[in-house]
Amino acid sequence: MTTSAAPAKSASPKFLLRHVGNMGDMIFIVPPVLSALKKTYPHCHITFVTSWGYKHTAGLLPPFNQTIWGQRNQSGHSLHLIMTNPHIDQLVHWHDKKLSLNNRLCREDERSFPTWSKAYYEQQVKSGTYDKVIELDFGLSATDNPITRAFQLSGLSLNNPLNYQIYFTDSDLQKAEALTAKFPQPRIVLLESLAHPSTRGWDPAKGKQLTAAIVKEYDVEPIWFGAKFNHFFLGQPLSLRENIATLRFCTVGIGVLSGPLHFAAAAGLPTITLYCDHPLRRAAPAFFQNPTLPDTAVKHRTILGPHRFPMTILKGGTASLSLTPAELATQNFTHWSNPGRQSTKSGLAVITVDEVMTVLNDMLK
């Protein structure tokens, strides 16, 4: 869907934005757009539509071609992450089929939200109620800058500061600080997707080696962060936002391009990103410094694995161009989430534990 005409020169234009499904984008792409809209049009009204979670009906294997959006999972998913954003005037829960304008279907953190079905959303798009409709669910090529693309679709100037952050409540931060106070220093976080077998992941075996190296060097166990490693506070599991808030009180995080990496950078945690194959402007925190963080000393590092030009995005249907023909012949590559041999799945997989420890030691000086 393309955007509608530019907003009328009204004192209070109305915007309708939609981004249904990517949790990382709720930190990396959406907040800068919302903030820039409010800066450009201080009295505008923003209606934002997003998901409460999703469920794959065809199982959890590729090609992920059958999904039902709207059911709650992953701790409330995107709606839970964006509901504290101060630039949204009306937050709407997306469901593919169900409609509930009386807020009876979606309740999150003691707040209730209206639910729009796909059919009702399409009616709203055509209703003429909004001065501009902005679709933030868009595809990207290897050379696209996602922030540039989002700002262009929104009709915004790129001179606006990139307000790249997550908005925690006081309660989120209080719980997180109380819990992490018990963790020994330095608090080194390994972000969950680091150990994924996909082309975006590193190597699960090296994850174990890195853990051992950290224990040997610093006499502390690293803290794993992610859906499989949720913290508990007073016997209750932390919410998604509360769990992310713990990262603000840690020392450094190590990860790969993923939602957890965006969470860490937006929370104010210095990161080490293991990276390869596509341009840094795609998403690496070392490129997108967060100007909203009060601590200007927060730095990010990127370890770039070997690659061959032209660079490509590995989350696709073909094998990485970073592999030689001989490597491809024995790779057993079937899909980005099932890329075959760990040692040659991409230029990222060959980054060594020693290289990571060298950068970590330098950051912790």
140 with 241, same domain: the answer is no
* DSSP H helical ranges for the chain: 25-28, 30-40, 77-82, 118-126, 146-154, 170-180, 204-218, 240-245, 259-267, 325-329, 353-363
Rama region for 19: left / alpha / beta (φ>0; ψ in -120 to 50; rest): beta
Is residue 2 included in any domain, yes or no?
Answer: no
The CATH number covering residue 287 comes to 3.40.50.2000
Q: What are phi and psi of 134, to 5 degrees?
A: -125, 115
pLDDT tens-place string over residues 326-364: 777 788 877 777 778 877 777 788 899 999 999 999 999
Give residue-wise pLDDT tens across range 207-238: 999 999 999 999 999 999 988 888 999 989 99
How remote is the C-alpha of 279 from its chain's centroid?
Answer: 17
Q: How confident is the model at residue 284 (pLDDT cuts 50, 70, 90)?
A: low
Q: Do 207 and 315 reside in the same domain of the chain?
A: yes
Supply the range of the domain harboring residue 263. 173-363
Do 19 and 75 lie in one domain? The reply is: yes
Q: Is residue 71 included in any domain, yes or no? A: yes
**Domain's final residue, options 119, 154, 189:** 154
| pLDDT score at 146 | 81
- In the listed set 121, 154, 187, which residue is the last one of a domain according to the structure? 154
Kindly report the backbone phi and psi dihedral angles of residue 115, in degrees, each rounded to the nearest multiple of 5, phi listed first: -115, 125
Report yes or no on 113 lying in a domain.
Answer: yes
Q: Which residue has the higher pLDDT, 60 or 269?
A: 269
Q: Is residue 289 part of a domain?
A: yes
- Establish if 91 belongs to a structural domain: yes
Pair (25, 125) in one structural domain: yes
240 within a domain of the structure (yes/no): yes
Location of structure tokens 């890329």: 339
131 shares a domain with 204: no
Domains identified in the chain, total number: 2
260, pLDDT greater than 70: yes
Residue 188 has pLDDT above 70, yes or no: yes
- 177 and 129 housed in the same domain: no
In a domain, 305, yes or no: yes
Task: Give the per-residue pLDDT at 348.
Answer: 82
Q: Is the pLDDT of residue 3 over 50?
A: no
Select from 154, 187, 215 the last residue of a domain.
154
* Chain Cα centroid distance, residue 211: 24
Q: Any idea what the Cα angle at residue 160 is, between residues 80 and 38, rounded to 5°?
A: 55
Q: What percent of the chain has pLDDT over 90?
A: 48
Please check whether residues 103 and 241 belong to one and the same domain.
no
CATH number for the domain spanning 148: value is: 3.40.1260
272 and 130 part of one domain: no
Q: How confident is the model at residue 180 (pLDDT cuts 50, 70, 90)?
A: very high
225 and 184 in a common domain: yes
The DSSP secondary-structure symbol of 281 reads G
Same-domain pairing of 138 and 257: no
Residues 118 and 198 placed together within one structural domain of the fold? no
Task: Examine the domain organization and report whether 180 and 247 are in the same domain.
Answer: yes
Task: Give the model's pLDDT for residue 181.
Answer: 95
Is 62 within a domain? yes
